Amino acid sequence: MAELEAVIGLEIHVQLATKTKMFCGCELSFGDEPNVHTCPVCLAHPGVLPVVNEQAVRYALQIGLALGCEIAPHSIFHRKNYFYPDSPKAYQISQYDIPICGPGRLGDVRIHRAHLEEDAAKMIHVGSSGRIHGSGSSLVDFNRGGTPLVEIVTEPDLRGAAEAAGWARLLRETVRQLGVSDVNMEEGSLRVDANVSVRPAGSEELGTKTELKNMNSFRFLQRGIEAELARQRELVESGGTVEQETLHFDPASGSLTSLRSKEEAHDYRYFPEPDLVPLVPTEEMLREAREALPELPAARIARYEEMGLASDVALTLATDPRTSGYFENVVEAADGIEPRILANWVTGELAAALRQAEVEGGAADSRVTPPALATLVRMVQDKKISHGSAKTVLAALVSEGGDPEPIVEREGLAQMSDSNELEAIVEKAMAENADAVEKIREGNNKAIGAIVGAVMRETKGRADGGEVNRLIQEKL
């Protein structure tokens, strides 16, 4: 049997951080008492009508532009009809075949579309004593009902669970930096469902896909997809066929349960929403949305890579705007030192020093100013201090702030620049470690460490390790 490849698409719901709901003026709720943020409109009383939240439209445009989407010059709302207690109108106002955002791209994944819709209410299931099924109750809290959502659908361009989780993280970071949503998976302001299928590697056709829901962290997203891929692979390899169904991921057990009930699939009977008029984004709205965009992760990563940074370092910086801002200040102060080297110091030694000192926040919140770090790195580049000494100086900068030169002076960490002095120490160390010297001459190069160590102790780490090695080799 031909090798099977995974084909994954994601469906993401982003809860917008507007002040009010999508179609009425009720405030959005944050863990409040049930049903304290409702009105006749979001309770769907007879005779009420929806009115679109202007800010939600702006936010949707920003999301669309950030994802490189074509913005529809004219889009409309549709009714998606279905009965459920969390849907008070028994229809959700959404967008169907004419969404506000069309095809786009983020990283390696193409975006199919993005559209505006309203969130459902919250249902709490309460069991009825003695019974396992059936006559339990649902208690419905309409606080959440009507919260604005942007739904983003990708093309099935992902080929693995880890890749999917990684891309989802990139999407999350991108949307977070727009400031339009908290995008918190645990809290529900970001929800990611996956459409998963398998097919013979190299095939162009799509296999039957299943829909995975209820994965409320990136870790669970990855595990859920992995579990489903494993299941589908086994099924197909043993001659079975994948059935289209919706699967609910249980984080506790890591297993997937089918939600396929005895009822037929929903017939949503979509038709254009007669109570709302079309959205026609104006030049001004688009301009304002464009201007509101910060430099987003994907663009920043590309820029850093162009500056010579390694991909993973670029990614680390790009997903942390404050640290990347700090990094750019260091680059400016360093004037001439390769950004790659500076980036490694920021994400490597400085980050480690901050962790070691248990400092809250990141580089931008620390006492190490960008010019100070730049100077420190230059001193290492110019061999004025050893890398090891620099780490000591850095730790001091973290706790005291200020500049590196006085600290170097104070601690006597200046690298030995007097080669005569160094030569004398090396000769002495070689004399005191004659057996080590013998071993080196016999071909055991590791023994050099003992002599280097002695020299370092004598010079209190100020000697340049490379230079010591060279001198030893010379005197053998």
- Which residue, 147, 163, 159, 212, is CA-closest to 12? 212
From 50-58, 150-158, 216-224, 410-418, span contacting other proteins (CB under 8 A): 50-58
287 binds other proteins (CB under 8 A): no
How many CA atoms lie within 13 Å of 253's alpha carbon, on the beta-carbon side? 6
Reduced to 3 states, what is the DSSP secondary structure of residue 417? Answer: coil
Looking at this protein, which amino acid is placed at residue 410? R
178 binds other proteins (CB under 8 A): no
List the beta strands (DSSP E) in 235-297: 246-250, 255-258, 271-272
274 binds other proteins (CB under 8 A): yes
27 binds other proteins (CB under 8 A): yes
38 binds other proteins (CB under 8 A): yes
36 binds other proteins (CB under 8 A): yes
Contact 301, 177 (CB under 8 A): no
Helices 448-459 + 465-475 axis angle, to 10: 120
User: Closer to other proteins at the Cβ: 23 or 304?
Assistant: 23
What's the rounded Cα separation, in Å, for the pair 287 and 306? 28
Least distance CB 83 / other proteins (angstroms): 5
What's the rounded Cα separation, in Å, for the pair 169 and 312? 14
412 binds other proteins (CB under 8 A): no
Least distance CB 370 / other proteins (angstroms): 38
Query: Within its chain, how far is the Cα of 166 from the centroid?
Result: 7
426 binds other proteins (CB under 8 A): no
Looking at this protein, which amino acid is placed at residue 213? K
410 binds other proteins (CB under 8 A): no
Least distance CB 265 / other proteins (angstroms): 9
From 23-31, 180-188, 343-351, 400-408, span contacting other proteins (CB under 8 A): 23-31
Please report, in angstroms and rounded to a whole number, the separation of the first and last CA atoms in the chain: 64
89 binds other proteins (CB under 8 A): yes
What's the rounded Cα separation, in Å, for the pair 240 and 246? 18
Looking at this protein, which amino acid is placed at residue 203? S
Among 162, 259, 302, 476, contact with other proteins (rule: CB under 8 A): 259
Burial of 197 (0-12, 13-18, 19+ CB in 10 A): buried
Q: Which two tokens stand for residue 50?
A: 């929806």
Binding marks (x or -) toward other proteins, 59..88, rule CB under 8 A?
Answer: -----------------x--x-x-xxx--x
255 binds other proteins (CB under 8 A): no
N residues, the chain: 476
- Phi/psi at 9 (5° precision): -125, 155
User: Closer to other proteins at the Cβ: 133 or 355?
Assistant: 133
User: Closer to other proteins at the Cβ: 14 or 425?
Assistant: 14
Least distance CB 165 / other proteins (angstroms): 27
User: Closer to other proteins at the Cβ: 98 or 341?
Assistant: 98
Question: Across the chain, which distance is largest between two alpha carbons, in Å?
Answer: 99
115 binds other proteins (CB under 8 A): no
Among 277, 302, 352, 357, contact with other proteins (rule: CB under 8 A): 277
List contacts with other proteins (CB under 8 A): 18-20, 24-27, 33-40, 43-57, 76, 79, 81, 83-85, 88-91, 124-125, 132-142, 259, 261, 267, 269-272, 274-280, 282
